[in-house]
Structure 1
Amino acid sequence: MLHRYESREALAEALATGVAAVLAGGIATNGSASLAVSGGSTPELFLQKLSAADLDWSAVTVTLVDERWVPEDHPRSNAGFLRRHLLRGPAAVAHFEPLYVPAETPDEVEETLCARLGGLGRPFDVVVLGMGTDGHTASFFPGGDTLGTAIDPANPRSVAIMRAPGAGEPRVTLTLSRLVDARLLVLHIEGAEKLGVLDAAKLPGSAFDLPIRAVLQAPRERPLEIFWAPLAGEQPSTAAADRT
């Protein structure tokens, strides 16, 4: 289901409101809720708005969809990004489960990470994915050395280690099977170029070429919710929230 918004601000407000409602429902039903979010520049405004939501944040566990193998004080750390934009204000009391622990390589602590992430409640209440112009989502990169395993819907493991030409550092990523059973699964993209990539991914083809296809094709009881807005200077959609 595609939700189009006229601006980044409108998208961020709507997405934050929707995510907060699902988290509140999880807390009311189960006493706790879980959220996995992406790094990068696209979700910055959404995360800032979500951080101010009126929730019992002490009952929320937050983790990342994926992480670069760098310490939290590194400028490319998704954990550092999350602390600056989400884990502040009311949301500062949420429990944060990082995907990086001090080690020379992620391979050394893969089993520890699998156990830690596998121990979180399943399914996640909310997962918010992003997408690059190369069609990657999470750290499912074209040419990734473990891409086949990471996007295998039958893979029971929670995390995979990924190295790929477009990834820069080694990455830790949640696996497809750990992501797509979320109660609310969102793909948050902005700009005409990414919308074009998404349209291409809906056509027949291999997930090894455009890994976002693995998410689009994964069997789910609930639809994937796609939130899109134009970048500054691009034409907005004709409707503030056009569902197709």
Structure 2
Amino acid sequence: MKKPDKKHLEKWHEFATEAEFNLALASALISQLRDLLSRQNHVLLAVSGGKSPRALMQTLSTADLDWSRVTIQWVDERLLSRGHVNSNSVLIETNLLQHHAAQAQWQPLLPVINPNDAPRELTETERMTVLQAALQAYQRPDVVVLGMGEDGHTASLFAHAEQLAAGIDLDNATPLLLLQPPAAPYWRISMTLAAIVSAKSIYIAAFGAPKRKVLQQAAQQADVNLPISLVLHHSQGIPVHVYC
């Protein structure tokens, strides 16, 4: 496997252990947030869900920052009812919005259902309601933290999804879209590629040898079958920091 080309290698960080990876990425993000807060009144941080970010979020939550001037929003969300254990919102609320970071601003946009009902996937009408509310609340992020699956998807931009073309269209002015993954559960709402690469800084968090191999492949050329590659190759001069 060829090494990533030089422009990516300059901001490419590899780690032997997950603990080292999480500590280094958390430190970089804290430094980035602190620098932005020294130069502007407010900072917006967009974070990804999944299983991997828990330790990172827990470390970030203890950072001594003026979190009252930070807004947290998700990069993507599974379209489930409020409090569903598989929602990215629950992940963020229970791991990031704790300790010092409990002072951050946060807009959970998933609907509350009858407390006697079991958590569930949203109906089509509810999905559209969430999309409209999210578009009204959306702000362009200063910093985006992206995860990546071993299939090369990032955010909820999955290869072969019917909605992918709209999601990766750099001329698409709508920053969020609804998307149904072809081989993963739940409808999603996701930032588009154009919205992602409009941030001031992008961090890709994908620890482990299998994910590193995918990232090395993605760094060679843009490939719609590896949506993460589109972030690497269409970031338009925005710093992309790869932690793997």
| TM-score bracket for the superposition, by shorter chain length | 0.7 to 0.9
Query: Is residue 189 of structure 2 the alignment partner of residue 172 of structure 1?
Result: yes
Task: Quote how far apart the aligned CAs of 1:146 are.
Answer: 1.1
Determine the structure 2 residue equivalent to 1:35. Answer: 45
1:60 to 59, 70, 74: 70
Determine the structure 2 residue equivalent to 1:195. Answer: 212
CA contact (8 A) 1:66 1:99 kept: no
Determine the structure 2 residue equivalent to 1:224. Answer: 240
Identity of aligned residues (%): 35
Query: Is residue 114 of structure 2 the alignment partner of residue 104 of structure 1?
Result: no
Structure 1: which 5+ runs fail to align? 229-244
Determine the structure 1 residue equivalent to 2:145. Answer: 128
TM-score (ref. length: structure 1)? 0.86
TM-score (ref. length: structure 2)? 0.86
Paired with 2:108 and 2:192, the residues of 1 have a C-alpha distance of 15
Determine the structure 1 residue equivalent to 2:33. Answer: 23
Paired with 2:207 and 2:32, the residues of 1 have a C-alpha distance of 23
Task: Quote how far apart the aligned CAs of 1:110 are.
Answer: 2.3
Paired with 2:44 and 2:222, the residues of 1 have a C-alpha distance of 33
Determine the structure 1 residue equivalent to 2:8. Answer: none
CA contact (8 A) 1:131 1:187 kept: yes
Q: Kindly tell me: are residues 152 and 101 of structure 1, through their superposed partners in 2, closer, same or farther at Cα, counting changes over 3 Å?
A: farther
Paired with 2:62 and 2:83, the residues of 1 have a C-alpha distance of 24
Query: Is residue 224 of structure 2 the alignment partner of residue 214 of structure 1?
Result: no
Task: Quote how far apart the aligned CAs of 1:167 are.
Answer: 2.9
Higher relative contact order (CA 8 A, sep 6+): 1
Determine the structure 2 residue equivalent to 1:240. Answer: none
Task: Quote how far apart the aligned CAs of 1:163 are.
Answer: 0.7
Q: Kindly tell me: are residues 88 and 205 of structure 1, through their superposed partners in 2, closer, same or farther at Cα, counting changes over 3 Å?
A: closer
1:127-178 per-residue CA deviation (whole Å, 9 max, x = no partner) reads: 1001101110000011212111111111111101001222311000011111
Query: Is residue 24 of structure 2 the alignment partner of residue 14 of structure 1?
Result: yes
CA contact (8 A) 1:22 1:125 kept: no
Paired with 2:235 and 2:22, the residues of 1 have a C-alpha distance of 27
Task: Quote how far apart the aligned CAs of 1:4 are.
Answer: 1.2
